[in-house]
Structures are given as structure tokens and as C-alpha cells.
């Protein structure tokens, strides 16, 4: 077995550039990898999928992510329809399927990868803080998923057969640019300087307005690179009456926030904000207003600060009913900000002073505490403070010893700080606790390491394959679908 050695040597190669510490003035970088695996498999081997549809959903990278999309958005997957679509496909002669326009479209998108790197990525980076962070994403091109396009923390799925995505390479690449922008925003949100709202749910709503608004605006601004003139979002954004109506909808939503039960608000927010595009159009108009009136630097500063700052800056530029309702400002520092401050004042120190508060919160709202500590761990990691990230994540694990995601995060912290042994130990614990979250992928990825420079995602993958083969764990191999910054962070861009 030669490849574990390859993994170790890859580590040495990577430990330099990948883990550059965030530093004002440094460039950001973003690497994008397009994959045709899913769409090819569907069109070339539909009969194989029909043998075991569930297995396909568990093993195909795009469909694993799609399954998560269904779970996280509370939208049941329509397996019967999927089966019918694949059955229909399987009845078409193989030669015809191989020449299918969807496959050709996929190939045409894939062939634009170099242009995407040369032109789209600099465009995207022009709307992100230059904080030295290095990011990467994989775009899975597929067909027959319910959502036309969506992203998770580090990966993107696009149903290129969806009529909503225009059916043209340019239109799809325009939407992919929007999605890739989210990857950058998602990483930068860990470095925000503003104090979040006390109500985490309210802050999440502002987050969507900011994130979707910016992504929509950035892709709209890329119209000369990848034209998508018929896209409904852009037609709405260019129509003042529609913009006014969408801002009214956002304000109406915010007005309902405290009045409606949680689940009712979630449904309304999904219906009006996401499906009827109020967050996208209002947020894009807000971004455009800031960019055009006071400049790009001010717009980027809202990303460094956070969505509260975005709304309040926009309001200084907007008149009357075009303003956005602001939520009450937080009265003090959150628990996470206080822990962050404590570790800034006393790096490496124990979190014992916070024990009573942490224990109380773990009883009251364990899920939110685990998630908050996880984000704080990443925030410290991305600020170049892995030792403090270990303190925070270890503290969280003391409270939630069965949380696979926290082990996964701790594994990543060790991986990024070059401690292979500890990384391995924590990834193994994560897999032991939650093997089902790490679904199978029937590929022999390790072979790729000889062909190109491995990425961080490859390394995570490699570690998991390592455990599959050598640690006698069940035969699931994660394809990177269970990324861990925030398990609930899923953006649906074109539903
Ligand atoms: Zn989006």
C-alpha cells in the first residue's frame, strides 16, 4: 500500500501555503473544481441506478448533498419521480444518451473551467475582503435534483438540466458564480467584527439578506462575462417598482418575526424571502446602492463587519419606505464574544470561568451552544489561532462528547496546524460516532494524488479513506459532504 505515504508527503507540501494566516492586505484566493461525475453517471448508467436508487443517493456526491438539502430545508425528496426520470432515461438507446444535449452542456461548462478561474474568480474576489484566506470549492454538475442550484459550506450542486438555469452554459456559469460567491462570504462570516443580534434566528435572517443580496448583485455585475438576460432576479432588480415591493416584503417579514411562532415564521420566510426572492432582490438593491453611492470598499467593509452593519449603512443612503427595518441592537457581548475576548487577553488559558454559564446553556439549548462553539473554534482557526481553537472545541466536546461534528472540526484544526496524529484521532472519533453522515463514494480517489496538487478537501477525503481501509471501520467513505463549519448552513439559490 503506497498511498498513505503519498498522503503524508502531501501534508508536507500543503502545510505552507494553505494555512497562510489571515492578514489585512494579503490577497484571498479561491480554487474551483468542476466535476462531471454525477451527470455522466446518470446519463451513461441509468440502469445501474435503477438497481438501487437509495444506494445511488447515498453514494453519488451530488445526491448526498441533495439529500442534505432536503433534510435541512424540510422538503421531502420525491423518490418516485426520480425513479421515473431515470427509468425514462434508461429506455433511451445508449448511443442517444451519450449524445444528450444535457451531457454536451455539461462538457461545455467544464471546458470553461480555465476561463472561470481567469475571469470569474477575480470578479468574485473583487467583492470580498482581502484577508489572506484561501478557499476552495467543488462544483458538482448533475441532473434531476429538486433544487436547481445550491451550496453547502464548501461544495456546490447544479442541476444543469433544470430549465430555471437557462439551459445555456453562460446562464449556468452566471448562477455558479453566484454560488461560488457564497463560499467566500461563508468563510468570511467567521471573521466578522460586529456583535451579532441576541436572537440568533433574527441574525440568521439578516445573514441571508446580506449573503443572497451580495451574491445576486455580484453575479448580476458579471453579466458581460456570463450573460443571463432572462433571469427573473435580474429583471426584477432592474425594475424600481418591483424592488420597492420586495423591500416592503422584507419589512413585512421582519415585522412578523416576533409575532409568529418559529415554524410559521420559517415557512413565511422561505415562501416570501427565498421562493418569491424578497431577500435576493432587496439585498441586491441594497448592495448596489452602497456600491454605487459610496463605493466598493464600503460594501466590502459590510462583509468584514456583518449584516447588521450592512442594513444600517444602507439605511443612511435610503429614503423613506426604501429603508429596511432594524432589529434592536444587542445590549452586551454574547457568550462567544466574551470567550473570544478572554482568549485574546489570555491566549491559551482555561475556560473554567465560563463553566456555570456553559453548563446552564447546554441544558437549555444544547444544539445552539454546540453550533456556537463550533463557529467560535473556526473563527479562532481562521484568525490564525489554532491553539485557542483547540481549547474552545475541546471545551465543547467536554459538554457534548457524542457530537461527531465537533470532532470533525477539531480534526480539521489539527490537520491545518500540521498535527497529523491528532487530526487522525479526531476524524476517527467523528466517523465512529456518525458513520452515516459520511456516505460512500465508489471511487478510488487516492490515485488522483499523483496527478495534481491535492487540496484540503482531498486530504479530508484521504484521511477518511485511510480509516476505511486501515482502521476497520464500516465501508463508508466520506466525499467531503459532511463539512462542518455549520451543519445548517445551506443556501438555496434557485429553488
Ligand atoms: Zn444564493
Please tell me the distance between residue 426's alpha carbon and the centre of ligand 1 in angstroms: 32
User: Does residue 191 surpass a pLDDT of 70?
Assistant: yes
User: Does residue 194 surpass a pLDDT of 90?
Assistant: yes
Please tell me the distance between residue 211's alpha carbon and the centre of ligand 1 in angstroms: 7
Please tell me the distance between residue 278's alpha carbon and the centre of ligand 1 in angstroms: 12
* DSSP three-state, residue 29: strand
| DSSP label at residue 186 | H
Please tell me the distance between residue 212's alpha carbon and the centre of ligand 1 in angstroms: 5
- Give residue 144's Cα distance to chain centre: 21
Cβ–Cβ under 8 Å, residues 373 and 365:
no
- pLDDT at position 463 is 57
Binned at pLDDT 50, 70 and 90, residue 458 comes out as: low
Element (H, E) at 142: strand 134-142
Please tell me the distance between residue 4's alpha carbon and the centre of ligand 1 in angstroms: 38
Binned at pLDDT 50, 70 and 90, residue 486 comes out as: very low
Please tell me the distance between residue 123's alpha carbon and the centre of ligand 1 in angstroms: 16
Report the candidate in 227, 86, 92, 182 with the shortest Cα–Cα distance to residue 143.
86
Please tell me the distance between residue 304's alpha carbon and the centre of ligand 1 in angstroms: 19
Q: Hey, CA dihedral for 449, 454, 457, 462, is it positive or negative? A: positive
pLDDT mean across residues, the chain: 83
Q: Please write the tens of the pLDDT for every residue from 424-452.
A: 899 888 888 877 554 222 222 222 222 33
Please tell me the distance between residue 69's alpha carbon and the centre of ligand 1 in angstroms: 13
Please tell me the distance between residue 359's alpha carbon and the centre of ligand 1 in angstroms: 36
* DSSP three-state, residue 96: helix
Residue 207 burial (C-beta neighbours within 10 Å; 0-12, 13-18, 19+): buried
**Residue ranges per domain, the chain?**
3-168, 200-322, 335-470
Please tell me the distance between residue 208's alpha carbon and the centre of ligand 1 in angstroms: 9
* Topology of the domain covering 335-470: 1.25.40
Q: Please write the tens of the pLDDT for every residue from 390-433.
A: 999 999 999 999 998 899 899 989 988 888 899 889 988 888 88
Cβ–Cβ under 8 Å, residues 460 and 480:
yes
Please tell me the distance between residue 492's alpha carbon and the centre of ligand 1 in angstroms: 6
Phi and psi of 492, rounded to 5°? -100, 120
Cβ–Cβ under 8 Å, residues 164 and 202:
no
Distances (CA, A) of 362 to 81, 203, 303, 378, 486: 42, 21, 30, 20, 18
Please tell me the distance between residue 306's alpha carbon and the centre of ligand 1 in angstroms: 17
Q: Please write the tens of the pLDDT for every residue from 100-138.
A: 999 999 999 999 999 999 999 999 999 999 887 778 899
Range in 153-162, 268-277, 359-368, 428-437 the model is least confident about: 428-437
Amino acid at each position: 500500500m503506497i498511498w498513505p505515504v503519498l498522503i503524508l508527503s502531501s501534508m508536507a507540501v500543503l502545510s505552507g501555503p494553505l494555512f497562510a494566516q489571515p492578514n489585512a492586505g494579503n490577497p484571498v484566493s479561491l480554487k474551483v473544481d468542476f466535476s462531471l461525475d454525477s451527470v455522466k453517471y446518470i446519463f451513461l448508467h441509468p440502469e445501474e441506478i435503477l438497481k438501487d436508487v437509495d444506494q445511488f443517493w447515498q453514494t453519488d456526491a451530488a445526491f448526498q448533498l441533495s439529500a442534505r438539502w432536503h433534510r435541512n430545508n424540510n422538503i421531502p425528496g420525491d423518490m418516485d419521480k426520480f425513479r421515473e426520470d431515470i427509468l425514462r432515461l434508461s429506455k433511451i438507446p445508449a448511443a442517444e444518451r451519450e449524445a444528450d444535449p444535457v451531457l454536451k452542456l455539461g462538457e461545455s461548462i467544464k471546458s470553461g473551467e480555465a476561463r472561470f478561474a481567469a475571469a470569474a474568480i477575480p470578479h468574485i474576489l473583487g467583492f470580498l475582503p482581502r484577508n489572506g484566506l484561501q478557499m476552495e470549492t467543488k462544483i458538482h454538475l448533475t441532473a434531476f435534483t429538486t433544487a436547481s442550484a445550491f451550496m453547502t459550506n464548501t461544495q456546490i450542486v447544479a442541476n444543469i438540466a433544470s430549465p430555471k438555469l437557462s439551459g445555456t452554459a453562460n446562464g449556468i456559469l452566471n448562477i455558479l458564480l453566484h454560488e461560488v460567491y457564497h463560499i467566500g462570504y461563508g468563510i468570511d462570516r467567521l471573521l466578522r467584527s460586529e456583535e451579532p443580534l441576541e436572537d440568533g434566528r433574527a441574525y440568521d435572517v439578516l445573514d441571508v439578506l446580506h449573503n443572497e443580496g451580495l451574491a445576486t448583485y455580484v453575479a448580476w455585475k458579471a453579466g458581460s462575462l456570463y450573460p443571463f438576460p432572462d433571469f427573473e432576479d435580474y429583471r426584477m432588480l432592474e425594475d424600481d417598482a418591483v424592488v420597492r415591493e420586495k423591500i416592503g416584503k422584507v419589512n413585512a417579514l421582519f415585522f412578523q418575526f416576533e409575532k409568529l411562532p418559529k415554524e410559521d415564521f420559517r415557512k413565511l420566510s422561505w415562501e416570501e424571502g427565498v421562493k418569491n426572492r424578497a431577500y435576493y432582490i432587496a439585498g441586491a438593491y441594497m448592495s448596489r446602492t452602497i456600491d454605487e453611492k459610496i463605493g466598493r470598499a464600503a460594501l466590502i467593509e459590510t462583509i468584514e463587519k456583518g449584516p447588521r452593519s450592512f442594513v444600517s449603512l444602507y439605511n443612511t443612503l435610503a429614503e423613506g419606505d426604501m429603508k429596511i427595518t432594524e432589529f434592536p441592537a444587542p445590549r452586551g457581548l454574547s457568550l462567544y464574544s466574551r470567550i473570544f475576548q478572554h482568549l485574546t487577553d489570555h491566549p491559551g488559558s482555561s475556560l473554567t470561568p465560563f463553566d456555570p454559564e456553559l453548563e446552564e446553556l447546554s441544558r437549555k439549548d444544547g444544539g445552539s451552544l454546540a453550533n456556537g462553539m463550533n463557529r467560535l473554534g473556526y473563527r479562532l482557526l481562521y484568525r490564525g489561532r489554532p491553539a485557542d481553537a483547540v481549547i474552545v472545541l475541546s471545551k465543547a466536546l467536554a459538554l457534548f462528547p457524542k457530537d461527531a461534528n465537533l470532532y470533525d472540526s477539531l480534526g480539521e484544526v489539527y490537520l491545518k496546524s500540521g498535527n497529523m496524529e491528532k487530526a487522525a484521532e479526531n476524524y476517527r472519533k467523528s466517523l465512529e460516532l456518525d458513520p452515516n453522515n459520511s456516505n460512500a463514494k465508489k471511487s478510488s480517489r487516492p490515485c488522483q494524488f499523483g496527478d495534481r496538487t491535492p487540496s484540503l478537501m482531498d486530504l479530508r477525503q484521504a484521511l477518511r479513506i485511510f480509516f476505511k481501509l486501515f482502521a476497520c471501520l464500516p465501508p463508508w467513505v466520506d466525499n467531503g459532504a459532511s463539512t462542518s463549519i455549520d451543519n445548517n448552513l445551506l443556501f438555496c439559490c434557485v429553488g
